[in-house]
Amino acid sequence: MTLPSLSLADFFPLLPAILMVVGACILLLSEVFLSATSSRAYQAVLTVVTSVAAGAVAVAMMFEPPREVMLGFGVLDPFSSFLTFVVSVCVGLAALSSVGFLRNRGAERGEFYALMLFASAGMSLLAMSNELITLFVNIEVLSIATYALTAYLRRGTRPSEAGFKYFILGAFSSAVLLYGAALLYGATGTTNLSAMVGPLGGAMQAQPALVYTGVVLVGAGFAFKIAAVPFHMWTPDVYEGAPSPVSALMSAGVKAAAFAAMVRVFFTLGQGIDPRLPLALFSALAFLTMVGGNLLAIPQRNVKRMLAYSSIAHAGYLLLGVAALFVTAPGEQFRLLGPSELTGGSPLDLARAGALRGILYYLLAYTFSAVGAFAMVSALERREDEEKGTAWDLERFSGLAQRRPGWAFAMAAFMLSLGGIPPTIGFMSKLLIFQSAVDAGLIGLTIVAVLSSAAGVYYYLRVVVYMFMRPVPEGAQVLERNWGTELALVVSTAAVVVLGIIPGPITAWLEQAGTLFGR
Amino acid sequence: MAAEVAARESPNRPMVPITYYLLLAAALFCMGMFGVLVRRNALVVFMCVELMLNAANLTFLAFARMRGDAVGHVSAFFVIAVAAAEAAIGLAIVIAVFRSRGSVLVEDIRTMKH
């Protein structure tokens, strides 16, 4: 029995996740020494500092050469580093918006922030996973932390109900994914994604049923995680019942990490199986998710629930990008995009490289817009109304422009961005995805995407109309200001507007981030 | 010890074919999936999820045995550890549900409208 020898430098690629775990442990341990009345303001600050540090390390890692790390169980490539950056942004903003939320409910505890950091460490590692069991363990690390966060508030029936639904469907989907992974292991004899590419072709000849069942089960497991229609039933209830900052973390961070893992797994599988299978799978899911998410969001008067359905719709646009990744010319063998294809391959290669960049840009754009919108929701809701279910009604937004013009402006920016209206980051990211889908030849599906996103503008603009054109209702609640929420709003609004006008810095960066390990 | 192992592994000894294990695992997986969808008690639903995880474990082990490969065995250990963590959080959530409404029947857990 020989133990692998790892030097300290071998752990460097895990640094963002290590920072997050260390931050979480400090939060957990320091909580022990506090009494019930001690000030806990440092906890959010520590979480934000940790996520900023992790994000900065991730940015530095974008320029590392892509390679296998940790004995091939993970990979360090610009793709995973970019996802770590997105996750850090998401957890930092969500932590800022939790300050006021938790204080209003008398629920400020170190565990909350520690669980957020554990979840984000899982997300960061999930984006790096290159082995099916590592992938499963990281999915569980992030899921278990988010189950606990969902049911974190002990008062009332909603949080435990949301936690229960999320737990059952999350555990169910993990089990489906794991069974699919077991079948793929049986077919190929390895769980390592890089090593799987070789035997997959032979396994397709010998046991096609085994491989196809495995692929479909893994796909279904991921479809649950990203809340694609028809695997979305849990989403609205969970997002509504969870604390708003946690809904933000789930809708942006969990989704981003799951998309990253899904893209990586199917890039591997696509080289062994017929790429038309993932293309058909993702096209069907994209169609159902875009149309279903938008249609279900239209009748919602509950803004938090509307954001949940909108998050489903956005998963649909992302799936359109994922489908575009698997378009191949007739008779062409599917292969990964190397540095040469990223900059100057055939038109189809360029379209697929564009789709990959579009997905990454979209994840960043969605993170800023959705986390900001959920921060706004958490600033307006009041604990007393939660059981009645009116805490998130559209009426809350009536006349907001007269009472807090800054908040109304920020929320308008998030809504326009989610609706894909220029000059916001949401418009730029939709443009990138739709353009590359057209270049890849998915014209019918892109038309559906454009039409359904036009339908989506209706329910986003309705919020704006309520804020700017409705009078302030009689006896409206006092709007409490909180430094955390306001800082989160300022940062996300600035990102949404500035990156919508000048996308240059990020797109130049994405030239790099489209590089996946494995060519 | 080595002789014992050799005797156990000897080809003369009748062995249960791997396919049987795979079929058993597939049956367990389907039962678990069916149970999650139709059972009313939250605890039984939770047990069905565990059944699905263990079906995956059995599949890993059967394939590992077939190939004489250690990866499948190790995978099963990881899955068992993860399932234990999941059980801890799952039971805590079921207790929270029971405390807030005095019932763990799935049809009672629906305050939120669609």
pLDDT digits (tens, 9 = 90+) for A184-198: 999 999 999 989 988
Contact A169, A220 (CB under 8 A): no
Asked whether the beta carbons of residue A240 and residue B110 sit closer than 8 angstroms, the reply is: no
The yes-or-no verdict on residue A338 having pLDDT over 70 is: no
CATH of domain B17-108: 1.10.287.3510
Bin A479: left if φ > 0, else alpha if -120 < ψ < 50, else beta: beta
Bin A398: left if φ > 0, else alpha if -120 < ψ < 50, else beta: beta
| Residue A105 burial class via C-beta count within 10 angstroms: exposed 0-12, middle 13-18, buried 19 and up | middle
The whole-angstrom separation of Cα A56 and Cα A84 is 10
CA distance A458 to chain B (A): 20
Beta bridge partners of A129: A74
Asked whether the beta carbons of residue B63 and residue A186 sit closer than 8 angstroms, the reply is: yes
| pLDDT at residue number A519 | 45
Torsion of CA A435, A441, A443, A448, to 10 degrees: -80
| pLDDT at residue number B108 | 80
User: Does A255 contact B at CB distance below 8 Å?
Assistant: no
Contact A506, A117 (CB under 8 A): no
Q: What is the DSSP string of A453-470?
A: HHHHHHHHHHHHHHHHHS
| pLDDT at residue number A511 | 73
Asked whether the beta carbons of residue B60 and residue A182 sit closer than 8 angstroms, the reply is: yes
The yes-or-no verdict on residue A513 having pLDDT over 70 is: no
- Closest by CA to A59, choosing from A23, A84, A24, is A84
DSSP helix/strand/coil, A154: coil
Please check whether residue A518 lies inside any domain of the structure: no
Contact A191, B71 (CB under 8 A): yes
The DSSP secondary-structure symbol of B105 reads B
Please check whether residue A509 lies inside any domain of the structure: yes
The whole-angstrom separation of Cα A509 and Cα A357 is 10
**How many CB atoms lie under 10 A from the CB of residue B51?**
18
Asked whether the beta carbons of residue A186 and residue B62 sit closer than 8 angstroms, the reply is: yes
Of the candidates A144, A154, A157, the beta carbon closest to that of B101 is on A157
Contact B63, B72 (CB under 8 A): yes
DSSP helix/strand/coil, B113: coil
Which tokens is A510 given?
A: 């994405």
Please report the ipTM that was assigned to this predicted complex.
0.90
The DSSP secondary-structure symbol of A332 reads P
User: Does B113 contact A at CB distance below 8 Å?
Assistant: yes
User: How many CB pairs (< 8 A) connect A and B?
Assistant: 119
The yes-or-no verdict on residue A164 having pLDDT over 50 is: yes
The yes-or-no verdict on residue A365 having pLDDT over 90 is: yes
Highest mean pLDDT among A331-335, A363-367, B66-70: A363-367
Mean pLDDT of A118-128: 96
B-chain residue closest to A210, CA distance: B22
Asked whether the beta carbons of residue A178 and residue B56 sit closer than 8 angstroms, the reply is: yes
Of the candidates B25, B53, B63, the beta carbon closest to that of A175 is on B53
| pLDDT at residue number A1 | 56
DSSP helix/strand/coil, A69: strand
DSSP helix/strand/coil, A67: strand
Mapping DSSP onto H, E and C, the string for A466-509 reads HHHHCCCCCCCCCCCCCHHHHHHHHHHHHHHHHHHHCCHHHHHH
Asked whether the beta carbons of residue B78 and residue A133 sit closer than 8 angstroms, the reply is: yes
| pLDDT at residue number A496 | 94
Asked whether the beta carbons of residue A160 and residue B114 sit closer than 8 angstroms, the reply is: no
The yes-or-no verdict on residue A139 having pLDDT over 90 is: yes
Contact A414, A369 (CB under 8 A): yes
pLDDT by residue for chain B (114 residues), tens only, comes to 455 555 555 556 667 888 999 999 999 999 999 999 999 899 999 999 999 999 999 999 999 999 888 899 999 999 999 999 999 999 999 999 999 888 888 888 777 765
∠ CA A28-A149-A99 to the nearest 5 degrees? 70
Asked whether the beta carbons of residue A136 and residue B99 sit closer than 8 angstroms, the reply is: no
Find all residues with CB under 8 Å of B10, minimum gap 6, and list them. Answer: none
Please check whether residue A308 lies inside any domain of the structure: yes
The whole-angstrom separation of Cα A366 and Cα A414 is 9
Of the candidates B49, B60, B112, the beta carbon closest to that of A185 is on B60
Mean pLDDT of A119-147: 96
Which tokens is A41 given?
A: 């303001």
pLDDT digits (tens, 9 = 90+) for A434-492: 999 999 999 999 999 999 999 999 999 999 999 999 998 887 778 888 999 999 999 99
The whole-angstrom separation of Cα A418 and Cα A410 is 12
Contact A186, B63 (CB under 8 A): yes
| pLDDT at residue number A175 | 96
CA distance A177 to chain B (A): 9
Q: Which of B51, B89, B113, B114 to mutate to test the interface with A (most CBs of A within 10 A)?
A: B89
Contact A362, A321 (CB under 8 A): yes
The whole-angstrom separation of Cα A204 and Cα B100 is 51
pLDDT digits (tens, 9 = 90+) for A1-51: 577 888 888 899 999 999 999 999 999 999 999 888 888 889 999 999 999
Taking the alpha carbons at both ends of chain B, their separation in whole angstroms is 63
Which tokens is A312 given?
A: 């489903």
User: Does B62 contact A at CB distance below 8 Å?
Assistant: yes
Task: Write down the number of H helices and E strands in chain B.
Answer: 4, 0
The DSSP secondary-structure symbol of B114 reads -
The whole-angstrom separation of Cα A51 and Cα A49 is 6
Of the candidates B49, B85, B94, the beta carbon closest to that of A175 is on B49
Structural domain total, chain A = 1
The whole-angstrom separation of Cα A506 and Cα A511 is 9
Please check whether residue A519 lies inside any domain of the structure: no
Q: What are phi and psi of A67, to 5 degrees?
A: -160, 165
Contact A433, A362 (CB under 8 A): yes
A-chain residue closest to B49, CA distance: A172
Amino acid at A277: L
Domain spans, chain B: 17-108
Q: What is the extent of the structural domain holding A333?
A: 12-513
